[in-house]
Structure 1
Amino acid sequence: MDVDAFVLAHSPAWNRLEELTKRRRNLTGAEIDELVDLYQRVSTHLSMVRSATTDAVLVGRLSGLIARARAAITGERAPLGSEFLRFWTVSFPVVAYDCRRWWLGSALGFLFVALLVGFWVAGSPEVRAAIGTPAELEQLINHDFASYYSENPAGSFALRVWVNNAWVAAQCIVFAILAGLPIPWVLFQNAANVGVSGGLMFGAGKGDVFLGLLTPHGLLELTAVFLAAAAGMRLGWSVISPGDRPRGQLLAERGRAVMSVAGGLVVVLLISGLIEALVTPSPLPTWARITVGVTAEIAFLAYVFHFGAKASRAGETGDIDDAPDVVPTA
């Protein structure tokens, strides 16, 4: 089978079936008949593709299309548990995985700025003097930095941290409507703040305190912020450079997919907030607190790359409009 010729010949039918499936709630009688006919035809196409090629992307696309069309025809609502499971095993991780290059770029840019500012502050008495008086810096370095994590009850502190981090992530996503242009500035501001704090602490010989308090929650927290920035900038880039796809279609698809990121990050940031409130100020030795943070970070990355890569190979995009809201009964 010439796969390219097969795709070219039958793509109109597939696209029409996808269109009817998406409009399943507002079909006329004739369109319902057309939906059933196309479902049968595309099912045959899927069988032919499976027997003639190992193209996993094409098989995944047709399999997903058939599943959604069958669900639209049979019309029974999917259980809430099934929708919940799909979100955490497909919708959220596949968008995070597809954003991985933007995600890595955000992390490297943030790290570069934080290190640059940190070395500048640590190595320049003039810069430190401009930041505050000796008494103010002594108070910050020897008292305020550490007490920040323990001066409030853990519950209220976790809530405050979660709200603050969620706001930073939300900014990154909301700024996507401005082609993502303000997002680098948001990252720069946060990187500069981390760099200033790190520079002051390292400059005073308190680098171990800085890393011991920041690392447990900071790894997962910053990773979530980088992911939000990546999703927002990737969406904004769709406006600037849509490639060979219609700009409006790509923007709508990625815009809906970003909603999956927003929903997933609510939980990720909640977890990092709990770590910051319960683990960071705890009496555990520094190595144990850092181990908790590193373990949480590795677990999150492993989760994203396992489920995200699997869903991506199956042709999933994380577009919530493509998620089936019904399941077949036959």
Structure 2
Amino acid sequence: MDLDAFTDVHRAQWDRLETLTKRRLLDGAEADELVRLYQTVATHLSTVRSVAPDPVLITRLSDLLARARSRIAGAHEPAWRDVVRFLVVSLPAALYRIRWWSVGVTAACLTVAVVAGVWVATTPEGLASMGPPSAQEQYVDEAFASYYDPGLDFATVVWTNNAWIAAQCIGLGITGVYPAYVLLMNAIGVGATGGMMAAHGELELFLTLIAPHGLLELMSVFVAGAAGLRICWAWIAPGPLPRGRALAQEGRSLVTVAIGLIISLAISGVIEGFVTGSTMPWWLKIVIGAIALAGFWVYTIVLGRRAARAGETGDLTADHAGDVAPVAA
């Protein structure tokens, strides 16, 4: 089939369908014409796919048909189905796929944090790196505990800041450098602060104020870093796929993680804003934080394993992702 000739013959129908999908109001005749053209263009797409699978034309027609289908069927019910699918299938599948990356990043960051903390707590030069003694005492005695000011405003600020960092880790993950830098600085910062608190005899205070919200908050940051590094790895080692397609698939799948982490960081923000600085017993605060972290992993493992067994990866469906040229494995 001559693809250029096929395009020239049917371009007017495609353009007309596109015009109808963009009109705000359609009369009865135009609505009928929209349905007829939708059926006709669907046949054209099937022909192109089977006879001359040009990826550019297939993507154009798929996008046109998706918009026409949305115009014909309406978008309210599919929108709710998409939300449910995202929460029950796409997000847990994406989190499950990078679970070992998340575990590896967590182990590496905890190791760095412990090393930094021990260095600060046990060596004069390490402790001196945290500032002059007067500033350390002021931080340990007043600033650290007073930072956790209970309330909605504090929870909102913490949530938006952490969600922005997580989104950057994933969005800039292709560089490999940014997520690694964020993870390293975060691990050193937490570890060094803990070491300074330990050197001044306040390690217990540090742990009881960090643990309630920090269990889920830090895990969310680790997962964001793992997702960013996984995107970089898809660019470095794409496997049998072309590098661009492998990167696109991984990017679409793991942007799902960025959206999901907004939810987990909102939960940790609520805990930090209303639990960490509250008058609750310290053991109850830690139990609440542990339950939040356990819920995250139960969600990831239980729903994620089920979605993975069904072949889900967290990527968009074929209709939304568009068609690509076939590649021999």
Same fold (TM over 0.5): yes
User: What does residue range 1-330 of structure 1 map to in structure 2 within 5 Å?
Assistant: 32-33=42-43, 76=73, 77=75, 78-150=77-149, 154-178=151-175, 180-322=176-318
Contact 2:174–2:235 (Cα < 8 Å) also in 1: no
Structure with more relative contact order (C-alpha pairs < 8 Å, separation 6 or more): 1
Greater CA deviation, 248-257 or 193-202?
248-257
SS at structure 2 position matched to 1:243: coil
Which amino acid in 1 is paired with 2:153?
S
Contact 2:169–2:228 (Cα < 8 Å) also in 1: yes
Which amino acid in 1 is paired with 2:244?
G
- State which structure, 1 or 2, has the greater radius of gyration over its C-alpha atoms: 2
Which amino acid in 2 is paired with 1:252?
A
Runs of at least 5 residues in structure 1 that lack an aligned partner in the other structure: 1-24, 38-68, 326-330
Contact 1:146–1:213 (Cα < 8 Å) also in 2: yes
Which amino acid in 2 is paired with 1:32?
A
The CA deviation at 1:183 is 1.5
CA distance in 1, matches of 2:229, 2:300: 19
**With structure 2 as the length reference, what TM-score do the two structures score?**
0.75
Contact 2:217–2:268 (Cα < 8 Å) also in 1: yes
Contact 1:221–1:272 (Cα < 8 Å) also in 2: yes
C-alpha deviations, 1:64-90, integer Å up to 9, x for none?
A: xxxxx9xx79x7454332211111011
SS at structure 2 position matched to 1:149: coil
CA distance in 1, matches of 2:187, 2:246: 31
**Shift in alpha-carbon separation, 1:157–1:36, aligned structure 2, 3 A:** same
Which amino acid in 2 is paired with 1:136?
A
CA distance in 2, matches of 1:228, 1:322: 25
**With structure 1 as the length reference, what TM-score do the two structures score?**
0.75
Aligned length: 269
The CA deviation at 1:245 is 1.7
Tell me the C-alpha RMSD between the 2 structures: 2.9
The CA deviation at 1:36 is 7.7
Contact 2:171–2:255 (Cα < 8 Å) also in 1: no
The CA deviation at 1:30 is 6.7
Greater CA deviation, 181-190 or 114-123?
181-190
Contact 2:151–2:274 (Cα < 8 Å) also in 1: yes
The CA deviation at 1:242 is 0.6
Identical positions, percent: 44
The CA deviation at 1:105 is 1.2
The CA deviation at 1:324 is 7.0
Contact 1:166–1:266 (Cα < 8 Å) also in 2: yes
The CA deviation at 1:168 is 1.8
